[in-house]
Chains A and B, each alone.
Chain A
C-alpha cells in the first residue's frame, strides 16, 4: 500500500541540527535555536517586518518600513493600500511563503498598529501566522 511521505526540508530531518535562531532575541539564552524551517521562516518574517528601510548596513532596501505608517493618516483606502504593499513585499522577499490573509487594526489612541498575517509555506503545506505590533 502506498504511503504518503510528508514534504520536509532536508535540514528538518536531522533532529539536532539547528537552522538558525529565533527572533526577537529573548528568553533564558540570548540566542534560542530553531530546529524547524517553519520556525526560522517565522523568525525571518518578524525580522523583515520590524526592519525599516535604510536600517540595514549596505542594504538600504531591506525592510517593510512599517514604522512610518504610524505617522500617516489612516483611512479605509490607506489600509487597503498597506495590505497590498505588505502582501507584495512578503511574497517577493519570501518566495516559499504565500500570504493568505492580512488583517490590520489601528488604535490611534494608543499610537499603535496591529498586523496579523496568515500565510502558507507552500512547499510544506504548513499554515502559520505572525502577529506584529508597531508602536
Chain B
C-alpha cells in the first residue's frame, strides 16, 4: 500500500487555528465524505470539540514549559522548588531588628572601705526571652543572647552608674546591658515518629515562619538543621573560655568555630509561603554524632579510589562522601521550636519595647536572705529600645525570588563580582535584618590606594525600610550583621566598607490635556495612581536614572488623556517636613529628558505619593 503523505500543520496552538486546520484538512482529503462546514452542522461540533482538546493540551504544554524554568515560572510553589535547586532559600517573611537596653537596680555594699555594687543581686535573663511593646501593638521581640548582669567584658560590657544616694554615699547602682533583638515569637510543635521510614517528612503549617530554632527528641538529643541531607557536618560554635580552649589568653573572640559530624540532622524547605517541610535521612541507627577535624584520612572518605580526590569538587562543610543522609527518627517525639513574625508592621518605633516576660528571669545567686530587697530589685528590671526597629518586611515577591535565586546560583557561595556582593547583601538571613537596597562600587581611587596597587576596596552602599516602607538608612545593628555575614563569603583580599546610600526624595508635577467627555478629576486620579505605581520603591534600585520619556508614555496610555503637556521632577528636602536632607539639583542633572543620579550612589524616592505627585488639567 502506498504511503499517504498528508500535509499536517504542527504550529496550531489555539482553538481557532485547530478548527481552521481541521476544516482545511477535511476539505482537502475528504471532499466526498463531508461538506457541511456551517456552524449548525453536527460535524463542525465534533471538530470544535477536538479543537477544544487541542487547545487545552497546548495550554498544559506551554504551562509545563513555563513552569520548568525559573525565568518564566509564575506559580509560587514551582519558584520555591527552582530557587532551592539553585541554592537560594526563599524568605516568607523578614524580621525587624533593633538593640534593646536592659536595666536593673542593684544595692550597694562596702568592701574594704569602698562602696561597690552587690552583684549577688544581679539578674540573669535567658536567651529567647520575649519583649513586647507597651503601645498595644501585637509585635513581640526576642533576644538571641542571654544576659548576665554580673558579667562584664570588652565585647559584652555592663555599664554601671549611681542610681540613688543617701548623704554622699550611693545606696543603689543602675546596671545596663544591650542586646540585639529580632521581631519574632517562639512557637512550638511536635511530631510523633514510630517505625523508621526513609526520608520521612513532616510539614509545619503556619504564617510568617522565619526558621527553625531548635529540635530535640524525647531523649534530649538535638537534631541539627543542614542545608541538604547529603551534608553531614555542621559549623558548631562553642564558648571561647579556659575549659574549651587550653590556649585561651584573651577574650577577643567570644566563640570558637568547630566542625561537627552529625547523624541526627534534617533539611528544611518551604513548600509555599505557609508550609515548611522538614525532611529526615535514611541511615541506620548505629551511627554516631562526633566532632571531627578535617585530615587526610577523612577528607574524601566515601570516594571509591584515592585518585578520585584529584578531580572531585570539595566543600568545606561536606568533605566526606557518605550516603547515609542522617538518621530517620523512630519511636520518639520531636519537639520543634520555630520562630515566626516579621513583616512591615514589625518595624516598631523607638522607646516602645518595654515589657519583659520575666517568667525565666532569675538571680545569679539563688536563695537571697533579704527577700524584700530581692523583690524590689527584681521589679526594677526594665527594658527600652532607643532606636526604632528596622529591616522588617514581607516575604520575597515572585520577582525577588527569581532575581535572588539566579544570583545565588551564579556566585556559588563566593562573592567575586560586584553583583555577587549585591545579591549576598540582599539575601542576608531574615533574622539578621533585611537590606532593602544595595549597590557595590570600587572605592574611588584616592589617597588610600598607592600607585600600582589595584583598588581591592569595595564600597557597599545599603538602605533599609522603615515601618511605612519608606527608605531609611540601615541601623548600626543591621550593618554590623551584614559585615559579619559578608565576612563568611568574601575573598581574602577583598575589603568592604559598608556605607549609607543617599536618599533623594522627589515630587512629580504633570500637566495633561483631557479628552472631551471625560471627567477631569477621574483622569487626574488615574494618572496619579499610574505614576505612583511607576515609582513604587520595590521597583527602584540605587543609581537608577529617571527616564522622563517613560513617564510621558505612561501618562499617554492612561484612559482619558489626550496629550501630556509637561512632566516635571522636583526635589523635596528637609527633615523638619519629614523628608530626606539630601538636596539634589534635578534640573542640572537632567540631560535629554533623563534625570541622572549623582556620582555618589543615591536613589530617587517618592515618599508620599498622595502628596508628592500633583497633576493639572490644562487646555489644549
Contact = CB atoms under 8 A, between A and B. Distances in A.
Interface of A: 11, 14, 16-21, 23, 25, 33, 40, 43-45, 47-48, 56-59, 62, 93-94
A20 B43 contact: yes
Interface stretch (B27-35, B65-73, B142-150, B600-608): B27-35
Nearest to A9: B35
B32 A16 contact: yes
A116 to B, nearest CB: 19
A20 B41 contact: yes
Contacts of A59: 39, 48
Interface of B: 15, 31-36, 38-43, 45, 48-49, 52
A40 B43 CA distance: 11
Chain B binding surface, main DSSP class: loop
Given A16-B32, A18-B34, A58 B40 contact: no
A26 to B, nearest CB: 12
A44 B44 CA distance: 10
21 contacts: A11-B35, A17-B31, A17-B32, A18-B34, A19-B34, A20-B34, A20-B36, A20-B43, A21-B34, A21-B42, A43-B42, A44-B38, A47-B40, A47-B42, A56-B45, A56-B48, A57-B15, A57-B48, A58-B48, A59-B39, A59-B48
Contacts of B43: 20-21
A25 to B, nearest CB: 8
Contact of A62 (B33, B34, B39, B49): B39
Given A17-B35, A48-B40, A62-B39, 8 more contacts: A16-B32, A19-B34, A20-B34, A23-B42, A25-B42, A44-B40, A47-B41, A58-B15
A78 B41 CA distance: 29
Contacts of B31: 17
Given A44-B40, A44-B41, A18 B32 contact: yes
A105 B35 CA distance: 35
Contacts of B52: 57-58
Contacts of B35: 11, 17-20
Contacts of B40: 44-45, 47-48, 93-94
Contacts of A43: 41-42
Contacts of B32: 14, 16-18
A111 to B, nearest CB: 26
Given A44-B42, A47-B41, A47-B42, A19 B48 contact: no
A33 B36 CA distance: 11
A89 to B, nearest CB: 11
A34 to B, nearest CB: 8
Nearest to B19: A58
A33 B43 CA distance: 11
Given A44-B36, A58-B15, A20 B42 contact: yes
Q: Which among B36, B39, B40, B45 has the highest number of chain A CB atoms within 10 Å?
A: B40
B12 to A, nearest CB: 15
Contacts of A44: 36, 38, 40-42
A11 B37 CA distance: 13
Contacts of B33: 18, 33
Contacts of A48: 40
Nearest to B14: A58
Contacts of B42: 20-21, 23, 25, 43-44, 47
A130 to B, nearest CB: 13
Contacts of A33: 33
A18 to B, nearest CB: 6
Contacts of B34: 18-21
A20 B36 CA distance: 6
B308 to A, nearest CB: 60
B36 A19 contact: yes
Contacts of A45: 40
Top-4 shortest CB links A-B: A20-B36, A44-B40, A57-B52, A23-B42
Contacts of A23: 42
A33 B33 CA distance: 8
Contacts of B38: 44
